[in-house]
Amino acid sequence: MTVIHLLADMNISPKTVEVLEQHEWDIVRISQFLPVNASDQEILKFARQEGRVIITQDLDFSALLALVATIVPA
């Protein structure tokens, strides 16, 4: 079985993360590792390094991801 490692962005409620943890999802909040004012680029870099999928409500992440993918190969 494949395990998906999740990373909750700042705009995801700690209660949501708690419920997912209770259901044995592998999820952490970005605030556990980076300052609350970390840039989207820092969050993307951290997620890539840790092999985590970002859960966010930040609408500009998709544009940033598309831009990064065209500049920096995986």
Which residue has better confidence, 40 or 74?
Answer: 40
| More reliable by pLDDT, 27 or 1 | 27
DSSP string, 9-71: -TTS-HHHHHHHHHTT-EEEEGGGTS-TT--HHHHHHHHHHHT-EEE---TTHHHHHHHHHHH
Q: Is 17's pLDDT higher than 90?
A: yes
Please, what is the average pLDDT of the chain?
85
pTM: 0.80
